[in-house]
């Protein structure tokens, strides 16, 4: 099978290397001729979220009739909505995708054939997507190393990702912007490094991700701020019982959801 990839950054490059390692031919679809696009059984669009739907629409007439087209954007609602009309009539099949893998650095130079090993891949088919196409897409992606596929709808994906990923990136960025950060050396260990690791992400891409998912992100941010205020109140009041209860609930929540 020939795999076409558009967007050779961290994610696209990692797909390229992983598919090559699995024995597939991989085409970089940047400036690719229509015949090249037509030769691909699988097309993975790894562009920043705002460019995914426009690129697919632009090449809608070139994909092979039985091609599976997917993407790797971190928001699915906006991408899948923009492609709903065309995918209803196309002979090829588009299924939204989001690999649950990444790094705090970007670019092809950081890509890695092993990036997806053991990771989850979220797929967001439409109501009208044939279940067989979803199964075929899972099979095509299996050699890349995913250990799990989650099939859900775009809105549920976006709600979950606001919490599991976007909120973590907001917190990391906010955490490291404290005046004391400049003096952390010698006073910090793993928890500080973990807390600030993803503060280095690309501001343009993540601004888009956040604003394409603003309602869900706003909701999880509001809830986190409210919870942090509870700890702060307990600290200010010297309320050991309240603090112990909050920490015990956090510990239980973490143990329960490991």
Q: Which of residues 26-85 bind a second copy (CB under 8 A)?
A: none
Which of the stretches 5-13, 47-55, 98-106, 132-140 binds a second copy when contact is defined by CB under 8 A?
Answer: 98-106
By CB under 8 A, tell whether 132 contacts a second copy. Answer: no
Q: Which stretch binds a second copy (CB under 8 A): 14-22, 40-48, 83-91, 186-194?
A: 186-194
- The binder of a second copy chosen from 3, 122, 137, 140 (CB under 8 A): 122
Of the two residues 65 and 182, which places its CB atom closer to a second copy in the complex?
A: 182
Residues in contact with a second copy, counted by CB under 8 A, come to a total of: 89
Q: For residues 184 and 221, is the Cβ–Cβ distance under 8 A?
A: no
Stretch of residues binding a second copy (CB under 8 A), selected from 49-57, 77-85, 127-135, 235-243: 235-243
What is the pattern of x (binds a second copy, CB under 8 A) and - over residues 146-165?
--x-x------x-xxx-xxx
List 26, 101, 134, 144, residue binding a second copy (CB under 8 A) = 101
- Residue 256 φ/ψ, nearest 5 degrees: -65, -30
Nearest approach, Cβ of residue 207 and a second copy (Å): 5
Tell how strand 93-99 and strand 148-151 pair up: unpaired
Q: In what order do the strands lie in the sheet containing 2-6?
A: 25-28, 2-6, 42-45, 68-71, 93-99, 120-124, 148-151
Binding mask 208-227 for a second copy (x = CB under 8 A): x-xx--x--xx-xxxxxx-x
Stretch that binds a second copy, among 3-11, 55-63, 97-105, 134-142 (CB under 8 A): 97-105
Output the CA torsion 26→152→199→207 (10° steps). Answer: 90
Sole binder of a second copy in the list 119, 133, 140, 143 (CB under 8 A): 119
* Helix locations, the chain, DSSP H: 10-21, 34-38, 49-58, 77-89, 131-141, 154-161, 167-176, 190-196, 203-211, 214-237, 240-256
Is residue 253 within the footprint of a second copy (CB under 8 A)?
yes
- How many beta carbons lie within 10 A of that of residue 61, not counting itself? 10
Nearer to a second copy, 26 or 161 (CB): 161
Report d(CA 201, CA 112) in Å as an integer. Answer: 17
Q: How far is the CB of 5 from a second copy (least distance, A)?
A: 21
User: Could you tell me if residue 96 is left (phi over 0), alpha (psi between -120 and 50 degrees) or otherwise beta?
Assistant: beta
**Shortest Å, Cβ 179 to a second copy:** 8
55: exposed, middle or buried (Cβ count in 10 Å: 0-12, 13-18, 19+) = middle
Among 33, 105, 142, 235, binds a second copy (CB under 8 A): 235
Comparing CB distances to a second copy, the nearer of 87 and 172 is 172
């Amino acid at each position: 099978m020939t795999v076409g990839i558009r967007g050779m950054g961290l994610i696209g490059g990692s797909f390229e290397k992983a598919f090559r390692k699995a024995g597939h031919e991989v085409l970089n679809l940047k400036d690719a001729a229509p015949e090249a696009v037509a030769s691909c059984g699988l097309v993975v669009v790894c562009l920043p979220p705002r460019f995914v739907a426009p690129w697919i629409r632009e090449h809608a007439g070139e994909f092979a009739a039985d091609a599976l087209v997917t993407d790797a954007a971190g928001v699915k609602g906006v991408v899948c909505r923009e492609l709903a009309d065309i995918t209803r009539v196309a002979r090829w099949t588009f299924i939204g995708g989001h690999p649950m893998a990444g790094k705090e650095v970007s670019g092809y130079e950081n890509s890695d054939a092993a990036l997806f090993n053991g990771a989850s891949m979220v797929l967001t088919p439409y109501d009208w997507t044939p279940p067989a196409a979803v199964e075929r897409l899972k099979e095509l992606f299996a050699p890349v190393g995913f250990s799990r596929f989650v099939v859900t709808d775009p809105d549920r994906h976006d709600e979950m990702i606001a919490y599991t990923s976007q909120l973590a990136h907001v917190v990391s960025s906010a955490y490291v912007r404290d005046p004391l950060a400049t003096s952390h050396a010698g006073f910090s260990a793993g928890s500080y490094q973990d807390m600030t690791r993803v503060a280095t992400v690309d501001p343009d891409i993540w601004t888009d991700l956040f604003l394409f998912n603003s309602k869900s992100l706003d909701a999880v941010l509001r809830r986190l701020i409210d919870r942090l205020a509870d700890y702060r109140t307990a600290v200010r009041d010297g309320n050991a019982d309240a603090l112990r209860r909050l920490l015990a609930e956090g510990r239980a929540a973490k143990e329960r959801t490991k």
